[in-house]
Amino acid sequence: MEVKIGVQYAPREIVLESELSGAELERVVADALAGKSQLLSLEDEKGRKILVPTDRLAYVELGAPTTRKVGFSAL
């Protein structure tokens, strides 16, 4: 699932693909915003960790699940 994270005072957003479901991602973000942790911690499909301080979050956008396309198409 695609996740876009806006960070205050940063000119670009963070974009990553996560293997978590939409409900799991929503729970992780809600827990971070509720103050249960000081960092929003997510891992992308390649195993890289993204850590964002919760007091610097501007927005978190959860996209639709992505599917991999294989092959060629003829138009």
pLDDT tens digit string along 9-42? Answer: 999 999 999 999 889 999 999 999 898 889 999 9
Q: What are the structural domains of the chain? A: 2-62 (2.30.30)
pLDDT band at 73 (very low <50, low <70, confident <90, very high): low
Q: Which residues pair with 74 in a beta bridge?
A: none
Mean pLDDT, all residues of the chain: 88
- Inter-residue contact 3 to 64 (CB < 8 Å): no
pTM: 0.78
